[in-house]
Amino acid sequence: HLPALISVFKDINKPRYPSMAGIMKAHEESRVVKLDANSIEADKSKIGLNGSMTEVSKIFSPERKGNHIILEGSNEEIVRKLVQNLKNDKIF
């Protein structure tokens, strides 16, 4: 059923900041199931670089610009620091 093109009018939604309860609920309910080629019995000749019709010519990390903060710690510590930063900046 692929490829697909989905188009949405820019005013379809009014973005809003999530509530603290919403942030914590999302964190508590997040369960990511990791699947690999073996678990889905994929033909390895058809996936990854071997199965790709594209050619990678260069991989790089873009230069960081502007103000940025890197938060370190456990997930709980990072969430606490992030929420505190948002409160300090009067965003949350």
- Domain regions of the chain by residue span: 17-59
How far does Cα 86 stand from its chain's mean position?
A: 19
> What is the structure's pLDDT at 77?
92
Tokens describing residue 71: 């938060």
What pLDDT score was predicted for residue 73? 92
Residue 1 has a pLDDT of: 57
Can you tell me the distance from the alpha carbon of 40 to that of 42, in angstroms, rounded to the nearest whole number? 5
Give, for all 92 residues of the chain, the pLDDT tens digit.
Answer: 567 777 777 778 888 888 999 888 888 877 778 888 899 999 988 888 788 888 878 999 888 888 888 899 998 899 999 999 989 988 87
Kindly tell me the number of DSSP H helices and DSSP E strands found in the chain: 3, 0
Q: pTM score, two decimals?
A: 0.33
Residue matched to tokens 């019709």: 53
